Structure 1
Amino acid sequence: MDKKNQRPEFHGSDLEKIAAYYHIPASEIPGIIKFGANVNPLGLSESVKNDLAGHLDIISSYPDRNYTSLKKTIGEYCHISPEHIVVGNGSTELISLLISQRQAKKALVVGPTYSEYERELALTGGTITEYNLKEDLNFQLDLEDFFASMAEDVDLLILCNPNNPTSSAIKNRDMKHILNFCNERNIFVMIDETYVEFAPDIAEITAISLTDEFDNVMVIRGVSKFYAAPGLRFGYGITSNHDFLEALLIHQNPWSLNSVAAYAGERMFKDNTYQQTTRQLICSERDRMYTAIQNMPSFKAYKPYANFILVRILKENLTSFDIFEAAIKERMMIRDCSSFKSLDGEYIRFCIMNPEDNTHLLKLLEQF
């Protein structure tokens, strides 16, 4: 049997499963540093937390069915018309709605990437194909090769930008070429921007500004990672394709987003202090960690645009699982990337945490 296939498979939220496997006492589980979850280490904004705590009576009322005030706030945050916005029960619901309503006969997914896209596509009965980013190009997309290799019958393209797990990104100018190419061939494009707010320059990466020009695209975001609120289940999508937007709303359950999420969402997008503090922390620590790993001969780090770094192991006979185990014994949970489809080789991924935790991880990696 392949050595990779003998390893236990853990994901970013598998703390209890990991603790059971390594016989870690329940009392120690909260102390494990979650480098595998890609969530903002600052946690939920204190001002949002306090505001929310004082307004929990909103649970006794239905949210506005049209989410008018929330969409206005998102519009201001994203510099886009509120009429182009749909909100939902996490980005997962919107991804599912988009895929089910497009009814793609042949979808193309740029990988290696998040496995949930393929799961949703499989439910629609369409054919799924992949275009894999190349390691020798540092997982940066080669537009010429990408366009040349795209089959004629592709009708849905799915991109994660910045991409998970590679942390690579397609810049706005190249995304415009992609949307134009796809528009000419009647291909709809879904862009998952879960991590875009962590990018060194958001405007350089986000495709939201292109949604006014192209109606063959929907950009999907959420608050799970940047705003450290995965339990809130709040996502939003942006498209100027009003026919498609209406179709989504028809098939979406009413009041899909609860009152608490709608209220908290408005406060999050207006919390400039939290946004700036987060970006200062992530940008400075990401640069520090990336530079440090570049100086370690056992590893190769790829230029990161998200709040995590993908690292290839160059040292012979050292596996990603070896490092995962060494880290968990130090009560740090990183991501062993052996389960990512089409990611050949030995890779680990870890997100940016608080400076002292990052230093602890770097010291561990230096031992190898």
Structure 2
Amino acid sequence: MVHGGDIYRNCISLDYSVNINPLGIPASVEAALREAVSLCSRYPDIRQEKLKAAIAEMDKVAADEILCGNGASELFPAILHALKPKKILIPVPSFYGYEWAAGTEACEVSYFPLREQDNFVLGEDFIEALDKETELIYLANPNNPTGQLIPPEILKGILKRCQELDIIVVVDECFLPFCEEAELYEEMEAGMKCRNLIQVRAFTKTFAIPGVRLGYLICRNREVCQKITRQLPEWNLSVFAQMAGCAAAKETEFIGESRKLIKEQRSILTKELISLGFRVYPSRADYILFYTELPLYELLLKKQILIRNCENYRGLSKGYYRIAVRGQAENERLISALREVTEK
């Protein structure tokens, strides 16, 4: 299994392989983490009541529709262990964690190829591919590594079709808070009140705390929630994760500032990549997918810059890379390095 962020086996000064908030950790979250040290002699709240209440207020949902996990990566396999679908459908390219989770259960996995000529955007043909044999689908909105959002009318069509066919829809929304369109999707999903919809989100990317490990899901089907709960450890969240989450859930202005910075810097990076002759795919997220025949991963690694080599993504091949959107100073360093390696 290959992910970004392998700073432990490489000498790195700039990590562009992981997509976390370029503003870093909010001050209130850092303070909460420091305060949590004094509580380490206690067991964390097994019911996570304060955290769930904070998330419920942030996302405008009921607290009993929320389940928390040790990162979203704990929730993806827990969903499958609980529901035991016989057949899963996954559009590709997409996050490898869904395929990894599927491998923990004896289920058939089918892959729906997204077309490069369509910029890897999910279309109506995916709705047509849904059938009675499919019991669960994984979607990412926005998709990783492409940064593409599912068109609202397509997502609405998928949810309607899956309701008709009794298919569970797991939507990974871990990067959605960075998108200006986030509220549009949240309102649409809330308005449809789909009992077969599971939305998976994380504090990891939004608040730059991957080392804390904190994710959660929202599901309006209480029976499904209970089944998933049985697949999670009793004390799966530390006092650090719970207190950091409570503080982060109040940081609404921070999210707005993050979106503004990411939009600005993403536009600059995109223009620079295009000017260097790379094939760049439109993104609405805090990362950009592009293609070049240069051995860019190795060239930048020599400069202690780590990017995501995407050739191991199902549906992609050698030459595809993904970079995070970071702050202006860091992005200028990356652009300078890219110019150096492309001029040689």
Report the TM-score, using the length of structure 2 for normalisation.
0.92
- Please name the residue that 1:25 is paired with: none
| Residue 58 of structure 1 pairs with residue 39 of structure 2 | yes
Question: Does the 8 A contact of 2:87 with 2:110 survive in 1?
Answer: yes
Query: Per-residue deviation at 1:50?
Result: 2.3
Partner of 2:303: 330
Maintained 8 Å contact 2:297/2:306: yes
Please state if 1:139 is matched with 2:141. no
Which of 251, 257, 260 is the aligned partner of 1:271? 251
2:288 match: 309
Match in the other structure for 2:333: 360
The residue that corresponds to 1:166 in the other structure is 146
Mapping of 1:146-165 within 5 angstroms?
Answer: 146-165=126-145
Change (3 A) 1:118 1:258: same
d(CA) in 2 for partners of 1:209 and 1:146?
19
8 A contact 1:211–1:217 mirrored in 2: no
Q: 1:202-351 maps to which residues of 2 (within 5 A)? A: 202-206=182-186, 209-210=189-190, 213-296=193-276, 298-313=277-292, 318-319=293-294, 322-344=295-317, 346-351=319-324
Residue in 2 that maps onto 1:43: 24
Aligned partner of 1:191 in structure 2 is: 171
Provide the rounded CA distance (Å) in 1 between the counterparts of 2:252 and 2:170.
28
Query: Partner of 1:128: helix, strand, or coil?
Result: strand
1:5 corresponding residue in structure 2: none
Unpaired segments ≥5 residues, structure 2: none
Q: d(CA) in 2 for partners of 1:244 and 1:202?
A: 25
What is the aligned-residue identity percentage? 28
Return the letter of the residue paired with 2:7.
L
Structure 2 CA distance, aligned partners of 1:185 and 1:54? 48
User: Do residues 16 (structure 1) and 16 (structure 2) align?
Assistant: no
Match of 1:4 in 2: none
Indicate if the aligned counterparts of 1:35 and 1:333 stay in contact, CA closer than 8 A: yes
For 1:173, the aligned partner's letter is E
Secondary structure of 2:8's counterpart equals helix
Letter matched to residue 13 of structure 1 = G
Q: Could you report, residue by residue, the CA deviation over 1:57-100 in whole angstroms, capped at 9, with x for unpaired residues?
A: 22222233222221111011111111211112111111111011
Partner letter of residue 331 of structure 1? Q
Give yes or no for contact 1:211–1:218 (8 Å, CA) kept in 2: no
Partner in structure 1 of residue 111 of structure 2: 130
- Which deviations, in whole Å up to 9, do the C-alpha atoms of 1:107-162 show, x marking residues without a partner? 0011111212112212211000000211100111111x112233441111001111
CA contact (8 A) 2:114 2:121 kept: yes
Question: Which residue does 1:82 correspond to in 2?
Answer: 63
Please say which of residues 329-338 and 287-296 is displaced more in the overlay.
Answer: 287-296
After superposition, what is the alpha-carbon deviation per residue over 1:319-363, rounded to whole angstroms, capped at 9, x for unaligned? Answer: 3xx111221222211112111121145211100112122122223
What are the equivalent positions in structure 2 for 1:1-12 lying under 5 Å apart?
11-12=3-4
| Equivalent-residue separation in structure 1 for 2:271 and 2:180 (angstroms) | 15
* Farther-moved stretch of structure 1 (353-362 vs 232-241): 353-362
- TM-score of the two chains, using structure 1 as the length reference: 0.87
Paired AA for residue 300 in structure 2: A
In the other structure, the counterpart of 1:22 is: none
* Residues 245 and 198 of structure 1, relative CA distance in 2, 3 Å threshold: same
C-alpha distance in 2 between matches for 1:324 and 1:254: 41
1:48 aligned counterpart, secondary structure? helix
Contact 1:211–1:238, Cα closer than 8 Å, also in 2: no
The question of whether the paired residues in 1 share the 8 Å contact of 2:90 and 2:109 is answered with: yes
CA spacing shift, 1:208–1:235, aligned 2, 3 Å: farther
Instruction: State the structure with bigger RCO (CA 8 A, min sep 6), 1 or 2.
Output: 2
Note the residue ranges of structure 1 that are not aligned, 5 or more in a row: 1-8, 20-28
Q: Secondary structure at the match of 1:60?
A: coil
Contact 1:167/1:303, CA 8 A, preserved across alignment: yes
- Are residues 76 and 208 of structure 1, via their aligned partners in 2, closer, same or farther at CA, if it must alter by over 3 Å? farther
CA RMSD of aligned residues (A): 2.0
* Deviation, structure 1 residue 258: 1.5
Residue 224 of structure 1 aligns to a residue in which SS?
helix
Q: Is the 8 A contact 1:159 1:191 kept in 2?
A: yes
SS in 1 for 2:206: coil
Question: 1:158/1:244 Cα in 2 relative to 1: closer, same or farther (>3 Å)?
Answer: same
Which residue of the partner structure matches residue 83 of structure 2?
A: 102
Tell me how far apart the structure 2 counterparts of residues 216 and 285 of structure 1 sit (CA, whole Å).
37
Partner of 1:157, secondary structure, is strand
In structure 2, the CA distance between the partners of 1:84 and 1:123, relative to structure 1 (3 Å rule), is same
8 Å Cα contact 2:142-2:175 kept in structure 1: yes
> What amino acid sits opposite 1:121 in the alignment?
A
Does 1:179 find its partner at 2:171?
A: no
Rate the CA distance shift 1:172–1:148 in 2: closer, same or farther, 3 A: closer
- Classify 1:18/1:303 alpha carbon distance in 2 versus 1 (closer, same or farther; 3 Å): same
What residue identity is the alignment partner of 1:16?
Answer: Y
CA separation of 1:54/1:68 partners in 2, compared to 1, >3 Å: closer, same or farther?
closer
